[in-house]
Amino acid sequence: MGMTMTQKILAAHAGLPSVEAGQLIEADLDLVLGNDVTTPVAIHEMDKFKKKEVFDKDKIALVMDHFTPNKDIKSAEHCKCVREFSKENEITNFFDVGSMGIEHALLPEKGLIVAGETCIGADSHTCTYGALGAFSTGVGSTDMAAGMVTGKAWFKVPSAVRFIITGEKAPWVSGKDVILHIIGMIGVDGARYKSMEFTGSGIKNLTMDDRFTIANMAIEAGAKNGIFPVDEQTIAYMEEHSAKSYTVYEPDEDAEYDETYTIDLSTLKPTVAFPHLPENTKTIDEVGDIKIDQVVIGSCTNGRFSDIQIAAEILKGRKIADGVRVIVIPGTQEVYLKSIEAGYMTTFIEAGAIVSTPTCGPCLGGHMGVLAAGERAVSTTNRNFVGRMGHVDSEVYLASPAVAAASAVTGKISSPAELGL
């Protein structure tokens, strides 16, 4: 029986010639990730089983990104805990205020994960790194603690769903629209504990940032992970950002998939997920007249330079609608700096937006844009559950940076085409 990409990576890291779906394995880890919310819990779990030392100080990444700069005393205490732990264990990849970014934008940029590697993170969107041809998945803080101590993790080998990507994207269609379309098609549990494996001739028409966005939201379909093949774009990205060696795994021709779907990029339209689930999707021509109070452009899903660039190009020379608040959050310090150098921050401020330091902030209703009762937001983030960005009576509409920026100008959910673009 043939193996999928994910199964081949897991077999190699378990020291086995092959694995099959449903099999329980123990696999070596190349990277263990935590943030300022989940790492303190993991540290306390280490205390319980009386372990102080980590298995490899170079293979742990701790990123202060959720409530930083600290919004209150509790978040300050959490970060202090992680700072002290990182100093005590000489953690190489510790990212604090001034050096931090949103973790899933930061780690690929820093070259900490490459094709063929395994990564667990105490954050559900750790599946982002599948864009690079790696196996990465979110875990709980207890599993993170065990991973930091042993360098290993237990997995049930997932079965897979294959998505054959064909065609070319239409104008204003991005990776965000692709994954929202897929989740709308299969549902938030359509790939539960499965590997979403992407293939097909259309992959070459997806940028690396498109792929990061798609892999990032695999968890929103219930998937264990999402993964892309390693092609010229992937190799170019890794060679630009990382000095690490990588391994390319390809699925066997007789690999088994539970389902196979074909996605023709040329047929997709800008897509919006209505409250209160990412599966509640409508294309932009089905949206209707939905007035908004706030726009958030950023997050680990859409805070990369290309996302900021698209939003700035749409907002340039335009003004944000009266009564609409717009918050732009670059994903990393590097994205922030490049955006300043490109003049995008001037564009945002002249349009009437504000710009934040890199942070998860409003995505999880933490800070920098919490919603009040009855308010609506268009957001480039990844979840729109009840109360996700604030009050339980607020509403979040998930969309691409292009739709978010256009909506900021019109004051309602809109396509850039409505601005004549």
CA distance 144 to 13: 17
Q: What pLDDT sits at residue 51?
A: 74
Burial class (CB in 10 A: 0-12, 13-18, 19+), 164: middle
**Which has the closest alpha carbon to 241: 196, 305, 313, 301?**
305
**Which has the closest alpha carbon to 116: 257, 252, 244?**
244
CA distance 80 to 73: 10
Q: Which residue has the tokens 């310090």?
A: 333
Q: Give the number of C-alpha atoms closer than 13 A to the C-alpha of residue 236, restricted to the C-beta side.
A: 6
CA distance 265 to 204: 11
Within 8 A by CB and 6+ apart from 240, the residues are none
CA distance 269 to 169: 9
CA distance 385 to 371: 13
Q: Would you state the structure tokens that stand for residue 359, as one six-digit string?
A: 């942070």
Please list the rounded mean pLDDT of every run of 10 residues in the chain (421 residues).
95 97 98 97 89 92 95 95 96 94 96 98 97 97 95 97 97 97 96 97 97 98 98 98 96 96 97 97 96 97 97 98 97 97 98 96 92 97 94 97 98 94 84
Q: Would you state the structure tokens that stand for residue 37, as one six-digit string?
A: 């919310």
Q: What pLDDT sits at residue 287?
A: 95
CA distance 76 to 348: 30
Q: What pLDDT sits at residue 206?
A: 98
CA distance 379 to 141: 27
Domains and CATH numbers, the chain: 5-264 (3.30.499.10), 271-419 (3.30.499.10)
CA distance 93 to 62: 6
Q: Which residues of 24-51 are buried (b: 16+ CB within 10 A; e: fewer)?
A: ebebbbbbbbbbbbbbbbbbebbeeeee
Number of Cβ within 10 Å of residue 316's Cβ equals 15
Q: Would you state the structure tokens that stand for residue 107, as one six-digit string?
A: 């780690």
* Terminal Cα distance for the chain, rounded: 50
Q: What are the angstrom distances between the C-alpha of 114 and each of 48, 225, 244, 274, 390?
A: 33, 15, 7, 34, 35
pLDDT, tens only, 337-380: 999 999 999 999 999 999 999 999 999 999 999 999 999 999 99
Q: What pLDDT sits at residue 413?
A: 98
Give the rounded distance of the alpha carbon of 148 from its chain centre: 22
User: Dihedral, CA atoms, 51, 44, 91, 32, nearest 10 degrees?
Assistant: 90
Q: Would you state the structure tokens that stand for residue 66, as one six-digit string?
A: 């959720």
Give the rounded distance of the alpha carbon of 265 from its chain centre: 21
